[in-house]
Every structure is written in C-alpha cells, then in structure tokens.
Amino acid sequence: MGGVIHRAIIATPCAALALLGAWWSVGAPLGGGLWPPDTVTLAEAVATRNNAEALRLIQQGADPNRPGPVRDGLLTNGYDVVVLPVEAAVAAQRADSLGMLLANGASVDDRELRVLRCLERARHDSGVREILDARAPGEPDCNDIRLPTDRAR
C-alpha cells in the first residue's frame, strides 16, 4: 500500500507539469498560455535589434517604408515614437539592420537621407555613418531637421 501512495505522490507533480506544458504548448498559440503573443511593428522589431523578426515581417508583407510605433524605452526615454524602420535602425545604431532594410525594399529619398544622417550624428555609429555617407558624403546641414526620435511639440 505504501508503494502506491509513494508513486501517487511522485506522479502528481509530474502530471501537473505535463498539463502545464500542454497548456503552454497548445494554449499559447490559441491566445492562452502564460503570456499573450507579442506583436511588434517592423520599426519596433528593428528597434529591438531583432533582424530575424524584421525580415519575417517584410516577407509577410510589412512595408519597409511605412512608419510604425515604437514603445517608450526602446529608442527614447519617457515617450513612444512613430518612426520609419530605417529611422529605427539608425536610432538603435544598427548598421546591419539598416543594410537589411535597404536590401529588402526600404527607400530613402534626399530629405530622408538628410534626416538619417542628422540622426546618426546625434547617435554616433561608424557602421551606420559609413552606409549613409556612401549615399551622400560630407557633413549634413541639420539646422532645420527635426529628429524622428524627438518628442513631438
């Protein structure tokens, strides 16, 4: 009789863990689970330095030229911002992300290039600067440029 009780005592936590594992595995994709699935915009994927997620979003149809919200604390302190994915890459000091975006359909006109170059001057990243300076060498005139990470006034 003691062996049956001993086995039941051992089996109960194992069964509970198995049920929890099943709930996590099956429940999470259906909206259950411990945490809801995290949805991010392309700009936020870039801001969090997640190139794999950013590329997956582009492959699923996300527009690399469309601004998206980025939560407080990722590119700024104290407020959310809405930025283009290329702006998120420059603000996050990610030359690899910037290169990936440019290789996957992101376009940068002369005005945006000036904004990106001024943003890089505020964030200082040699890899980003090299990519941007290859498109327009020399120092940019940043006098009338409002950086995309500045709080809206």
Return all residues near 120 (Cβ < 8 A) that are at least 6 apart.
90, 128, 129, 132
Domain boundaries, the chain: 1-34, 42-135
Is 0.85 topped by the overall pTM?
A: no
Q: Please tell me which residue, 117 or 19, carries the higher pLDDT value.
A: 117
Question: What CA dihedral angle connects 78, 80, 84 and 88, to 10 degrees?
Answer: 40
CATH class of 42-135: mainly alpha
pLDDT of 153 > 50? The answer is: no
Residue-wise pLDDT for 82-103, tens only, equals 999 999 999 999 999 999 999 9
Reported as a pLDDT band with limits 50, 70 and 90, residue 39 is confident
Residue-wise pLDDT for 101-142, tens only, equals 999 999 999 999 999 999 999 989 899 999 999 999 889 999
* pLDDT score at 4: 63
pLDDT of 1 > 70? The answer is: no
Is the dihedral angle over the CA atoms 126, 131, 135, 140 positive or is it negative?
negative
Reported as a pLDDT band with limits 50, 70 and 90, residue 61 is very high
